Amino acid sequence: MADTLTGAFDLTGRNAVVTGANTGLGQAIAVALAEAGAGIVAVGRSGMDKTEERVRALGRPFRAVRADLSTLEPVERVVAEAQELGRIDVLVNNAGIIRRADALDFTEADWDAVMDVNLKSVFFLSQAVARRMLADERGGRIINIASLLSFQGGIRIPSYTASKSGLAGLTRLLACEWAGRGINVNAIAPGYFVTNNTAALRADPERNGQILGRIPAGRWGDPGDIGGAAVFLASPAAAYVHGIVLPVDGGWLAR
């Protein structure tokens, strides 16, 4: 039984593309997938030396692709460069940005910037990868990184909330279209993690205290806490899992 379970989570011989893999949750997901056996294509705007170091230390293939997903210009190039490592078996849409301001003061520029990265590029990169997955009829896995704001409203982040709510819906839509064709589309909804996106919240004593007071686990999430969920959704163990948004939140939504 133990060997069977181990095999169910084995990603040996598979390749995963992870966007926003230079730091934080993206880096942690890339490393977790590599630990499970996958080769990694790390996509990001900045250098990914640390991610590469950790993946190669595990003996896994690695390729870095520099790309700014604020526009659709790099989408086809990302796919082409990723395929130089081999077939794309897993896509993790992790890249995302956030802008903070009261709804009354929120600008069109901040709205568009967030929606372009967090939702528009996710759809078109998923489309481009899915076309390759379907062409050879071997299927694959697409994992979107949603948010607690896929379930809740939040404050002072209107475009982020809209994008992550939209991403939950998009996850279900793509699952409905592609489940019968061998592609599993799911999402992970991280709670409050120690990342660049939450630096402002952690630096605010009042907000930090309010957030910690609601998390049953009693702490902010560490990026390493998300890896297991990504490995599960990318693995044979999740073969019959389609269209879910899996919270990894220390119990926040249960409160």
What does the DSSP assignment read for 127-169? HHHHHHHHHTT--EEEEEE--GGGTS--SS-HHHHHHHHHHHH
| Half-sphere exposure of residue 199: CA atoms within 13 angstroms, side-chain side | 7
Task: Output the pLDDT for position 154.
Answer: 94
Task: Output the pLDDT for position 139.
Answer: 97
17-68 pLDDT, tens digit per residue, is 999 999 999 999 999 999 999 999 999 999 999 999 999 999 999 999 999 9
157-182 pLDDT, tens digit per residue, is 999 999 999 999 999 999 999 999 99
Quick check: 3 pLDDT over 80?
A: no
Burial class (CB within 10 angstroms; exposed 0-12, middle 13-18, buried 19+) of 6: exposed
65-74 pLDDT, tens digit per residue, is 999 999 999 9
Quick check: 136 pLDDT over 50?
A: yes
Task: Please say if 240 is a catalytic residue.
Answer: no
Overall number of domains in the chain: 1
Write down the catalytic residue from 160, 178, 193, 220: 160
Task: Output the pLDDT for position 1.
Answer: 41
Nearest alpha-carbon partner for 14 in 115, 135, 138, 102 = 138
Quick check: 196 pLDDT over 90?
A: no
Residue 141's CATH number: 3.40.50.720
DSSP letter assigned to residue 243: S
Nearest alpha-carbon partner for 174 in 91, 100, 248 = 91
Q: What is the crossing angle of helices 49-57 and 24-35, to 10°?
A: 20
Mean pLDDT of 11-20: 98
What span, in angstroms and rounded, lies between the C-alpha atoms of 235 and 227? 12
What span, in angstroms and rounded, lies between the C-alpha atoms of 39 and 85? 8
Task: Output the pLDDT for position 2.
Answer: 47
Element (H, E) at 17: strand 15-19
The percent of residues above 90 in pLDDT, for the chain, comes to 95
Confidence (pTM): 0.96
Task: Output the pLDDT for position 34.
Answer: 98
Task: Output the pLDDT for position 197.
Answer: 80
What span, in angstroms and rounded, lies between the C-alpha atoms of 30 and 250? 21
The angle at the Cα of 145, spanning 144 to 149, to the nearest 5 degrees, equals 120
Task: Print the domain residue range for 221.
Answer: 2-254
Sorted by sequence, the CB contacts under 8 Å of residue 151 that are 6+ apart come out as 168, 189, 245, 247, 253
Quick check: 5 pLDDT over 70?
A: no
